[in-house]
Amino acid sequence: MLKGFYKVRFELNGAPGRSVMYMHGGKMLGGNSAFAHIGTYEESDGVFTTEVKTVRHNDDPNYRSLAGTDDATLRARGRADGEILHFEGSIIELAGSVFRSVMTPIDDEIMPIAGAMGEGGIVNGLYSIHIKMLDGVEGGLNGVMLLHDGRILGGDASFYYLGTYTSADGRWKGQILNQEHTPAVSENPVFGGHEVGIGFSGTCTSDGAELEAIALVGKRSVRLTATLKLMRRA
């Protein structure tokens, strides 16, 4: 499950962007603070051929699509240089566009053992996640989270998440380690520059989940809530 988790730096016609991506078994699932990235790949003679669609999950108009449309389709080809993947391609809906990306593996060896799953537990899949700080603390985080058999992978343009959970009978609980993959102090002063441990519990249904959590940010404890929406079953 943990093979193929990457931070992604990309450019579309010279405009930069960042995200996280999980590649395994012909599927590509990932995203960032505003968009989920859902696609497939094939590998032949060391060449990867991909098709990835973007789907907006954050309605904030300050997050604009580089392609000029919320529903864009990327077709690209790439090769591995050691553990790093390089892709080049274009957006179908944007004639003459030039897309390039570099995908760098994220170290997942710190992951604890996956949690136990029971009947009525949370569904495996790619979720959007929208986090809100409590107790008068301003700010929040938006991103994507991949849940699969008790393990958590996810992130956004600046952070990545690794964690575990248990779930049954419409409830779930777990722990997440939130870390930077790109400096975020100026964009998110609450979590930026910190390795953040989060313990959570909440409810789940067939199409989403809610949670309440306490995040340990340095020596400070911050309460937060989050809403997850299922975007693609895995």
CATH number for position 74: 2.40.128.380
pLDDT tens across 11-36, in order?
Answer: 999 999 999 999 999 999 999 999 99
- Non-local CB neighbours of 53 within 8 Å, separated by 6+ positions: 37, 38, 39, 71, 72, 73, 74
Q: Which of 105, 140, 171 is the last residue of a domain?
A: 105
Residue 185 has pLDDT above 80, yes or no: no
Residue 111 within a domain:
no
- Check residue 217 and give its pLDDT: 87
Question: CB 95: neighbour CB atoms within 10 A?
Answer: 7
- At 177, the amino acid letter reads L
Residues 216 and 139 in one domain: yes
Residues 64 and 95 in one domain: yes
Residue 113 within a domain:
no
Residue 120 within a domain:
no
Residues 21 and 62 in one domain: yes
Residue 97 within a domain:
yes
Q: How much is the pTM?
A: 0.93
- Reference 161, options 143, 139, 140; nearest CA is 143
Residues 135 and 219 in one domain: yes
Residues 148 and 206 in one domain: yes
Average pLDDT in the 180-205 region? 83
Instruction: Take residue 109 and report the two structure tokens written for it.
Output: 């060896």
Q: What sign results for the dihedral spanned by CA atoms 72, 50, 80, 108?
A: positive
Quote the DSSP letter at residue 113: P
Instruction: Take residue 39 and report the two structure tokens written for it.
Output: 């696609």
The percent of the chain in helix, strand and coil, each rounded to the nearest 5, is 0, 60, 40
Average pLDDT in the 91-95 region? 96
Residue 216 within a domain:
yes
How does the average pLDDT of the chain come out, rounded? 92
- Check residue 194 and give its pLDDT: 81
- In which element (H, E) is residue 101 found? strand 99-105
- Check residue 191 and give its pLDDT: 81
> In total, how many domains does the chain have?
2
Tell me the residue range of the domain where 68 lies: 5-105
- In which element (H, E) is residue 6 found? strand 5-12
Residue 112 within a domain:
no
Average pLDDT in the 203-222 region? 94
Query: How far is the CA of 17 from the CAs of 9, 119, 188, 214, in angstroms?
Result: 6, 39, 17, 30
Note the residue count of the chain: 234
Residue 26 within a domain:
yes
Express as a percent the part of the chain with pLDDT over 90. 81
- Check residue 196 and give its pLDDT: 93
- Non-local CB neighbours of 155 within 8 Å, separated by 6+ positions: 7, 19, 20, 30, 32, 143, 144, 161, 181
pLDDT tens across 128-144, in order?
Answer: 999 999 988 887 889 99
Name beta bridge partners: 209.
Answer: 204, 228
